Amino acid sequence: MTPSRTTRWAILGLVGLIFAVPIAAMTEFTLRRGLEGGHDLSRWITLFTGQLDGGYRQVWVGLGNSVVLAIVTVLLVLVLLVPTMLLIRLRFPRLMPVLEFVCLLPITIPAIVLVIGLATVYGVVARMLGSGVWTLALAYGVLVLPFAFRAVQANLQAVDVQTLTEAARSLGASWPTVVVRVLLPNLRRGMLAASFIAVAVVLGEFTIASLLNRTNLQTALVVVSKNDPFTAVIFALLALLFAFLLLLVIGRVGSGRRPGRTS
Amino acid sequence: MTGPASVELASVVKEYPGHRALDGVDLRIEPGEFVALLGPSGCGKTTALRTIAGLESIDGGGIRIDGEDVAAKPTNKRDIGMVFQSYSLFPHLTVAQNVEFGLRMRRVAGPERTARATEALELVGLGAFGGRYAHQLSGGQQQRVALARALVTRPRVLLLDEPLSALDAKVRTSLRDEIRRIQTELGITTLFVTHDQEEALAVADRVAVMRQGRIEQIGTPEQLYRTPATAFVADFVGLSNRLPAHLTDGVVAFQDVRLPLLGDPQPDGPVEALVRPEDLVLGEEGLRGTVIASSFLGSVRRTQVRLDDGAVVSVQHDVEQAPAAGDEVRLRIRATAVSASAAAVSASAVA
């Protein structure tokens, strides 16, 4: 039975409220004028007019690092996960449940537990690849696997990959052509969704970066919040807004607007 | 295109773990011929077609197209056209781009590509649909586009893997006739896989009936229908009544009727004689029975009769004769020979 319109709006309103209250509280907090009371936009204006002093430099460094990490993580997902999933789907379909299990594992393991293992691994990584900030993306690649896998898998299931591949092969296409001209264009939505989710996860990640002593947006915000909690909350709100916009884009892309059916 | 090619399967074997899908299949398709591969689900007919396409490797035997051994050749080098059971148009490309795909792979220049794609779409009656996407077409239209896409490259062989099975009955019949028209027009060597005996008999020059990975019989539709080599073929192709009978020295006897056995010799003993509904005639003499029901089928009428010995048979006759349930009737057998299967257990009419 479909719930009535009123029930639906009530549920939506309640859920909305649960999310809105902390965000509204954060926003209100950033507008406070301190001990003298009242509200104004002075902190937002200071931030957007570039008048912050050197103490906030770390936030920009953290933001830069997070952007680098997001890009490398997305590349890892697209270059490693998508071809692996395609290969398994086409040639070794029986291995799909195994891949699914492996990809979903990170969601069941708390980040703190992951870090204990990663600390040892990063000893080796640092010796082989140096300790550049981008190396953290190797851990993030693991962290985003469950989300990226689901996004690509949903797309893979919606497309008859096997038949499209066989049709293209029968028409004379080589394997690289099949992948580039037939499969990837049809997996575009899944890959975009996986990429956006990866970006959202990376921008919000704190535990691993903090425990491995790396600076990213979240760790920088924590440092800043110790001196100026108001500005840190502004940054947190902005990061939240960015992630929200990203998810909105995924929704748009995922709905895949097409011309109507004619027959 | 180098003109229509012959296709030859020589003792082809294909094994899956614990299951032999093709058990020494021999089949030769002459250049320009239309052969249907008919059989129940799991008999290996699609596997046979896929081995010709190169979509399945073979574990024994050989496959030749135009005399050339292609067993080791990848699919994209075999110069075949293929239409699949499920809709296989590329969703991200327009109808015209779909049809041009094979030409692009062959590096055909732009203007010629467009001209040939338009020509192919007109051949299947969809000349005006070039700018649409697959999801804007009906199932029948999608399969027509798939046919145009398979034909536009002028392949040596056309392989059709149950292309009509996802369509509704009316579209299926019209597209079936259209496939035959186009095949005749282009003279392309064609292998058509289907589980629908009516479809196979209607379109093919010859029909190969498959069972458990082997070809049971190959012949013209008339040969298969009139002189089935085995009881399986008689049963699978068309309707057959099963009548309890006895086989002695190649003669099938039931009640006072005696007819020679069709197909391979069988050991003497009790058998089931397979008699077509149209080979039974309602008349004044012959086997006694009682009418159970009678159905009007348009051009003919089919009547179920319970014989005195308990067997229920189906009789096909003119619509002018309209027996009612409960009528006492006599049945004469018009056939001059019958197929028979061993180990008769109980008699029944098989639809």
pLDDT for the residue numbered B38: 93
CB contact under 8 A, B84 and A167: yes
Q: Which of B76, B136, B146 sits opposite A172 (nearest CB)?
A: B76
Q: Give the model's confidence band at A253: pLDDT under 50 very low, under 70 low, under 90 confident, else very high.
A: low
pLDDT for the residue numbered B39: 92
Question: Of B38, B51, B4, nearest to B188 (Cα)?
Answer: B4
Cα angle for residues B83, B88, B89 (degrees, 5° grid): 110
Residue A257, pLDDT above cutoff 60 = no
Residues belonging to chain B with any Cβ–Cβ distance to chain A shorter than 8 Å: 53-55, 74-77, 79-82, 84, 86-92, 101-102, 105-106, 132-133, 135-138, 141, 146, 149-150, 153, 159
pLDDT for the residue numbered B345: 45
Q: Give the model's confidence band at A126: pLDDT under 50 very low, under 70 low, under 90 confident, else very high.
A: confident
**Positions of chain B with pLDDT under 50:** 344-351
Tell me the percentage of chain A whose pLDDT exceeds 70. 94
CA–CA dist A168, B98 (Å, integer) = 10
Q: Which of B88, B133, B153 sits opposite A163 (nearest CB)?
A: B88
- Mean pLDDT throughout A211-219? 86
CB contact under 8 A, B75 and A160: no
Q: Which of A163, A169, A186 sits opposite B75 (nearest CB)?
A: A169
CB contact under 8 A, A263 and B138: yes
CA–CA dist B117, B124 (Å, integer) = 11
pLDDT for the residue numbered B297: 87
Pair of tokens at residue B265: 């010799």
CA–CA dist B227, B243 (Å, integer) = 18
pLDDT for the residue numbered A7: 92
CB contact under 8 A, B153 and A167: no
Q: What is the arrangement of strands in the sheet containing B19-29, beginning at the earlier edge strand?
A: B19-29, B7-16, B60-65, B68-69
Question: Of B273, B288, B287, B276, nearest to B317 (Cα)?
Answer: B276
pLDDT for the residue numbered B28: 95
Mean pLDDT of chain B: 88
Most confident of A12-21, A62-71, B246-255: A12-21
Nearest residue of B to residue A185, measured between CA atoms: B92
pLDDT for the residue numbered B2: 58
- Mean pLDDT throughout A188-215? 87
Q: Which long-range contacts (CB under 8 A, 24 or more apart) does B249-256 make?
A: B252/B338, B252/B340, B255/B287, B255/B309
Report ipTM (2 d.p.). Answer: 0.81
Domain ranges of chain A: 57-254
A28 touches chain B (CB under 8 A): no
The 10s digit of each residue's pLDDT in A151-168 is 999 999 999 999 999 999
**What is the DSSP track for B17-56?**
TTEEEEEEEEEEE-TT-EEEEE--TTSSHHHHHHHHHTSS
pLDDT for the residue numbered A259: 43
A110 touches chain B (CB under 8 A): no
pLDDT for the residue numbered B351: 37
- Which class would CATH give A57-254? mainly alpha
State whether the Cα torsion B147-B150-B156-B158 is positive or negative.
negative
CA–CA dist A117, A110 (Å, integer) = 11
The 10s digit of each residue's pLDDT in A233-246 is 888 888 888 878 87
Residue A42, pLDDT above cutoff 60 = yes
CB contact under 8 A, B105 and A171: yes
The neighbour count for residue B193, using CB atoms within 10 Å, is 25
pLDDT for the residue numbered B264: 77
CB contact under 8 A, B84 and A169: no
pLDDT for the residue numbered A111: 78
